[in-house]
Amino acid sequence: MNVFKFGGASLKDAAGVKNVASILQRYASDSLVVVVSAMGKSTNALEAVVAAHAKQTGEAPALYQALKEHHYAIMRELFEPGDDVFNIVNDTFVEGDWVLEEKPAEDYDYMYDQIVCVGELVSSKITAAYLNKIGLRTHWLDARDVVATDNTYREGWVIWDKTKANTQKNVAPLLAKRGFVLTQGFIGATSENFTTTLGREGSDYSAAIFSYCLDAESMSIWKDVPGVLNADPRLFENVVKLDRLSYKEAIEMTYYGAQVIHPKTIKPLQNKNIPLFVKSFLDPAAPGTEISSDTEEAYPPIIVVEKNQALLHISTNDYSFVAEQHMARLFAKLAELRLFVNMMQNTAISFTICVPNVPERLVKFVKDVSDEFRVKQENDLELITIRHYNEETIATLKKGKMVLFEERIRNTMQMVVKNVPAIERRTVELERAKG
């Protein structure tokens, strides 16, 4: 059996749903688990609902209503009036209404997960209903009956043993029947049956969880790009498609922020040697990119830009050396606050790290270590990572930037930069490395 994942971009409107159905038509006789995300930018819209509810601005019901209307408009293009799906979807939206009728929960992240999951739930119900309507038999599955997590809301950690057992119990019998199994990405449940989410863009990871637990032959994620490119096409021109990538290369790219695949996706696939295909939903017959076992290829320079970074310059209050026990304390605090270090460097009395700029976590970090350390913070920075770099690429990427921090280790070059003018589209000549 195989696992397919369709993201928000592929399901952004009625034409998108029809296109996904036409892709699935080509696999009508296959054993498939189909994982879908929320439609288009629904998750952002739901985040706005949660924020408004938490602040009690009074706007939450209207924002939520607009999202419902958007889905109903899509459904009117796909179904006849009076189709059961209207009631099914309405019932799901009502679950969000119940949360909004209550006072905002004290735990923001908990409340977030109980509302934001609605995006995936309605998207999967609409898609499954449409597939059944056109004769592609499809069994809808609640991913929360399979993906078991701890209660780290908004970043649920998968409990693998339980998830594997749930897969045997709840997915295998559906797969044994004729037809597709269609479920949601991004969501799971705690042992007390509260909904969790796996982190933004987490549907790719969900598909990998299903692939791992089901020993899939392959997994395919269907995107609006021809495959994995050597740089983000929204930032760079003249990008090239990578036909093949090793798991290792894919992990390195996604770890530093290549948004095409969620960073947690590769590990479960690598662990079971399951190939991952990144394919275009606009050109389904094209081969896309294959990510598989660790045969190293000759790669062109691969560029990953991660925005919204901060540099923290940390020094001891009493001018003592930044020694191992200081590092141990600083890292324990960083781990506790889930501040992930992208780059670091130390001198005798200072230690510099590059971390994503999550203001509430950084404020807490600075406060919690202030008895021993002074922290100077620089914001609005970008981290640029170049794998398989050459001097020409580095020079091009440095144009219009002030480089604050730079490092080269083996085939990876990283720099933290400040844009001199506002971010503008860059044209970069990226040439495939020879040999």
Binding site for ligand ASP (CB under 6 A): 7-8, 37-38, 43, 119, 185-186, 200-203
Minimum distance of ligand ADP from residue 45's CB (angstroms): 15
Q: Taking CB within 5 to 8 Å according to partner kind, which of Mg ion, ligand ASP, ligand ADP, none is near residue 200? A: ligand ASP
If the CB atoms of residues 219 and 229 are measured against ligand ADP, the closer one turns out to be 229
Interface residues for ligand ADP in 190-249 (CB under 6 A)? Answer: 201, 223-225, 228-229, 231-234
CA distance 49 to 167: 32
Q: Does 119 bind Mg ion (CB under 5 A)?
A: no
If the CB atoms of residues 190 and 289 are measured against Mg ion, the closer one turns out to be 289
Minimum distance of ligand ASP from residue 406's CB (angstroms): 32
Question: Do the Cβ atoms of 313 and 365 come closer than 8 Å?
Answer: no
Residue 355 tokens read as 């971390």
Give the strand pairing for 276-280 and 289-292. Answer: antiparallel
409 contacts: CB under 8 Å, gap ≥ 6? none
If the CB atoms of residues 224 and 368 are measured against ligand ADP, the closer one turns out to be 224
Interface residues for ligand ADP in 37-96 (CB under 6 A)? Answer: 37
Minimum distance of ligand ASP from residue 431's CB (angstroms): 32
- Judged by phi (left if over 0) then psi (alpha if -120 to 50, else beta), residue 428 lies in beta
Minimum distance of Mg ion from residue 7's CB (angstroms): 5
If the CB atoms of residues 124 and 414 are measured against ligand ASP, the closer one turns out to be 124
CA distances from 132 to 26, 78, 321 (A): 15, 12, 67
If the CB atoms of residues 207 and 381 are measured against ligand ADP, the closer one turns out to be 207
Q: Which residue, 339, 323, 349, 203, is CA-closest to 262?
A: 203
Interface residues for ligand ADP in 17-46 (CB under 6 A)? Answer: 37
Minimum distance of Mg ion from residue 262's CB (angstroms): 8
CA distances from 268 to 26, 81, 211 (A): 27, 43, 8
If the CB atoms of residues 204 and 249 are measured against Mg ion, the closer one turns out to be 204
Of 7, 16, 257, 268, the one binding Mg ion by CB under 5 A:
7
The three-state secondary structure class of 43 is helix
If the CB atoms of residues 305 and 353 are measured against ligand ADP, the closer one turns out to be 305
CA distances from 61 to 50, 120, 249, 412 (A): 10, 19, 45, 48
Q: Taking CB within 5 to 8 Å according to partner kind, which of Mg ion, ligand ASP, ligand ADP, none is near residue 119? A: ligand ASP
Minimum distance of ligand ADP from residue 185's CB (angstroms): 9
Residue nearest ligand ADP, Cβ-based:
7
Q: Does 433 bind ligand ADP (CB under 6 A)?
A: no
CA distance 294 to 308: 32
Per the listing, tokens 């599955």 go with: 141
Beta strands in 296-420 (DSSP E): 302-316, 343-346, 350-356, 373-387, 401-409, 412-419
Total interface residues for ligand ADP by CB under 6 A: 18
Contact flags string 168-207 toward Mg ion, x per CB under 5 A: ---------------------------------x------
Tell me the window of 5-13, 43-51, 108-116, 155-163 that interacts with ligand ADP (CB under 6 A).
5-13
Per the listing, tokens 């392959």 go with: 218
Q: Which residue, 44, 46, 82, 84, is CA-closest to 65?
A: 46
Q: Which residue, 192, 190, 184, is CA-closest to 42?
A: 184
If the CB atoms of residues 196 and 203 are measured against Mg ion, the closer one turns out to be 203
Minimum distance of ligand ADP from residue 63's CB (angstroms): 21
Residue 165 tokens read as 């057992």
Q: Does 259 bind ligand ADP (CB under 6 A)?
A: yes
Question: Do the Cβ atoms of 246 and 294 come closer than 8 Å?
Answer: yes
If the CB atoms of residues 300 and 356 are measured against ligand ASP, the closer one turns out to be 356
Of 8, 16, 119, 268, the one binding ligand ADP by CB under 6 A:
8
What is the crossing angle of helices 42-55 and 60-78, to 10°? Answer: 160
If the CB atoms of residues 216 and 258 are measured against ligand ADP, the closer one turns out to be 258
Question: Do the Cβ atoms of 369 and 283 come closer than 8 Å?
Answer: no
Minimum distance of ligand ADP from residue 366's CB (angstroms): 31
CA distance 377 to 352: 10
R_g of the chain computed on alpha carbons: 23
Residue 26 tokens read as 């080509």
Minimum distance of Mg ion from residue 260's CB (angstroms): 9
Site residues (vs Mg ion, CB under 5 A): 7, 201
Site residues (vs ligand ADP, CB under 6 A): 7-10, 37, 201, 223-225, 228-229, 231-234, 258-260
